[in-house]
Each structure stands twice: as structure tokens, then as C-alpha cells.
């Protein structure tokens, strides 16, 4: 392989490594943001459960107070009933006593419902707190890893930039121009590709036999006639199952 082609391959590998690394580093904050949103959602869910428990407890305390008031009222009504002077007064007092007793029964039934609901809420809150704690710990661990990876990634990018600079220094302006033009042309950034069994590994089209034999015979700076990528064979010696031994010059 020509030294210039070797340099192009090294440059291409370097640029691909930079692209992969930049993509990875760009994903780090997105990952943390997604985890942070999950923590926020769990925090909100826990707050909702706690607010519901507080509301239930408040309602139950009010019902307990109402029951005590109704009981006190019944005691007074029964005393008044014993002192009633006529049937009308008796019926009115008995009606009030019945209403108060029904109110007590309804309140106590609701109290029981609330007690059962509070028990379930406390269990749900315990689970939610455990889940939130685990999510917070995971987020912090991910954050520390992201910080470390970002720091290491910046060092790797700096090293790759130096490698790229060194490699570019070995290329002529003309070859560099060809490389940059092909990088822009091909979205995957692949500029130099292997040829396998007379097939370009960039566009997967077969190349002409003459071009294939010329490339195998000796290192050449040749381009694929279909996609324009620079062609190379890692080793130009040995036996090819399609065309036989490489020509000897």
C-alpha cells in the first residue's frame, strides 16, 4: 500500500474515532437529563401519595370530632326526651336522635374506609421512598461516571487531534483536498476502502479487471470509478480465489 494511502487510512480511522467519541460525549448529558426526569417524576408521585395520606388523616380527624359532637348531642336529646310534655315534642326529639345516630354510623363507616386507605397509602409510600432513594443513588453514580468519562473523552479528543495533525503533515495538499472532498461527499465519512475480490467495499460495485490487476500488481493511488473512493488492498501478495496469483512485476 502506498504511504499516502496508508496515511489516508490512519487519518480516516482517526476522524471516525473522533466522530464516535463526540457522539458518545454528546449523549452523556442526554442520559443524565433522562434519569433526572425519572427522579423528578418519582418525587412527584411520592408527594402525591403523601398529600393524599395527609388529606385522609385530616378528614378522619374531622369525622372523629363530628362523631363526638353527635354523641354529645344524643345525650342532651335523650335528656330532653325524658322531659317531653307532648307527643309532638317526643316525635321531634326521637327524629333528631335517629338522625344523629345515622350520622354517627355513616361517619364511622367512612372512618373505617379511611383507615384501610391510609394503611395502603403508607405501604405505597414506603415502596415509593425506596424506589426514589435507589433512583437518586443511581443518578449520582451515573453523574460521577459521566463526569469521569467526559474528562477522559476530552483527553482522548486532544490526543486524536494531535494524531490527526501529525498524519496530515505527511500528506500533500492535493491528497488532503481529495480526502476532505470525499468526506463531504460520503455521509459515512468513508474515503479509503479495501477491495475484496475485485469489489469496492465502499459502494460494493465490481471494479474493472484492468484496474483490479493494476491495484494488485503494485501499490497505486487509484479511485473507484463508481463512488470515487480511494481503493487499497492491505496486502498485494498472495492468491485471489477469483483471479489467481497476483501478477509479478
Domain annotation covers residue 43 = yes
The pLDDT value recorded for residue 1 is 63
Shared domain for 195 and 158, answered yes or no, is no
For residue 145, the domain's CATH number is 1.10.287.1490
Question: Which of 168, 183, 207 lies at the terminal end of a domain, its last residue?
Answer: 168
Q: What is the pLDDT of residue 243?
A: 36
248 inside domain: no
Q: What is the pLDDT of residues 153-171, one digit of tens each?
A: 999 999 999 999 999 999 9
Please indicate, yes or no, whether residues 64 and 152 belong to a single structural domain of this protein. yes
**Do both 23 and 109 map to the same domain?**
yes
The answer to whether residue 15 sits within a structural domain is yes
Are 140 and 220 found together in one domain? no
Q: Are residues 162 and 187 in the same domain?
A: no
pTM of the model: 0.72
Residues in the chain: 249
Share of residues in the chain with pLDDT > 70 (%): 93
Percentage of the chain modeled with pLDDT above 90:
80
Identify whether residues 156 and 177 lie together within a single domain.
no
pLDDT for residue 241: 36
Residue 88 lies in a domain: yes
Residue-wise pLDDT for 89-100, tens only, equals 999 999 999 999
Query: What does the pLDDT read at residue 145?
Result: 97
Dihedral-angle region of residue 189 (phi above 0 means left; psi in -120 to 50 means alpha; beta otherwise): left
Same domain, 23 and 134: yes
Q: 26 falls in which pLDDT band (50, 70, 90)?
A: very high
Q: Based on the fold, state whether residues 164 and 87 are members of the same structural domain.
A: yes
Q: What is the pLDDT of residues 225-237, one digit of tens each?
A: 999 999 998 765 3
Do 86 and 120 belong to one domain?
yes
Residues 80 and 108 occupy one common structural domain: yes
Tens-place pLDDT, residues 37-54: 999 999 999 999 999 999
Q: Which pLDDT does position 166 carry in this prediction?
A: 95
Q: Is the pLDDT of residue 239 over 70?
A: no
Burial class (CB in 10 A: 0-12, 13-18, 19+), 236: middle
pLDDT 10s digits, 194-205: 999 899 999 999
Q: What is the mean pLDDT of residues 207-224?
A: 84
Q: How many domains does the chain have?
A: 2
The range of the structural domain enclosing residue 65 comes to 10-168
Grid cell digits, residue 217 = 500488481
Whether 122 has a pLDDT exceeding 90, the answer reads yes
Shared domain check, 115 and 222: no
Q: Is residue 249 part of a domain?
A: no
Question: Phi/psi at 188 (nearest 5 deg)?
Answer: -80, 0
Last residue of a domain, one of 125, 146, 168: 168
CB 249 within 8 A of CB 217: yes
pLDDT of residue 126: 98
Q: Which of 111, 143, 168 is where one domain is finished?
A: 168
Contact 139, 35 (CB under 8 A): yes
Cβ atoms < 10 Å from Cβ of 245: 10
Rounded Cα–Cα distance for residues 169 and 156 (Å): 20
- Tell whether 79 and 23 lie within a shared domain: yes
Instruction: Answer whether residue 120 shows pLDDT above 50.
Output: yes
Amino acid at each position: 500500500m502506498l504511504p499516502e494511502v496508508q496515511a489516508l487510512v490512519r487519518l480516516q480511522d482517526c476522524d471516525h474515532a473522533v466522530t464516535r467519541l463526540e457522539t458518545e460525549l454528546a449523549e452523556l448529558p442526554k442520559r443524565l437529563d433522562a434519569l433526572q426526569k425519572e427522579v423528578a417524576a418519582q418525587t412527584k408521585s411520592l408527594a402525591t401519595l403523601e398529600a393524599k395520606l395527609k388529606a385522609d388523616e385530616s378528614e378522619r380527624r374531622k369525622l372523629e370530632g363530628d362523631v363526638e359532637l353527635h354523641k354529645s348531642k344524643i345525650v342532651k336529646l335523650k335528656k330532653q326526651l325524658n322531659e317531653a310534655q307532648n307527643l309532638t315534642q317526643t316525635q321531634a326529639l326521637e327524629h333528631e336522635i335517629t338522625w344523629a345516630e345515622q350520622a354517627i354510623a355513616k361517619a364511622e363507616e367512612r372512618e373505617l374506609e379511611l383507615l384501610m386507605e391510609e394503611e395502603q397509602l403508607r405501604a405505597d409510600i414506603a415502596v415509593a421512598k425506596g424506589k426514589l432513594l435507589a433512583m437518586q443513588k443511581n443518578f449520582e453514580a451515573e453523574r460521577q461516571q459521566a463526569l469521569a468519562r467526559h474528562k477522559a473523552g476530552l483527553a482522548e479528543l486532544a490526543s486524536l487531534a494531535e494524531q490527526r495533525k501529525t498524519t496530515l503533515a505527511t500528506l500533500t495538499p492535493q491528497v488532503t483536498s481529495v480526502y476532505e472532498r470525499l468526506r463531504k461527499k460520503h455521509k459515512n465519512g468513508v474515503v479509503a476502502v479495501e477491495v475484496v475480490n475485485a469489489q469496492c467495499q465502499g459502494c460494493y460495485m465490481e471494479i474493472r479487471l484492468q484496474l483490479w490487476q493494476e491495484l494488485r500488481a503494485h501499490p497505486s493511488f487509484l479511485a473507484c470509478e463508481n463512488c470515487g473512493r480511494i481503493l487499497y488492498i492491505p496486502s498485494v501478495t498472495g492468491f485471489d480465489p477469483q483471479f489467481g496469483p497476483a501478477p509479478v512485476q
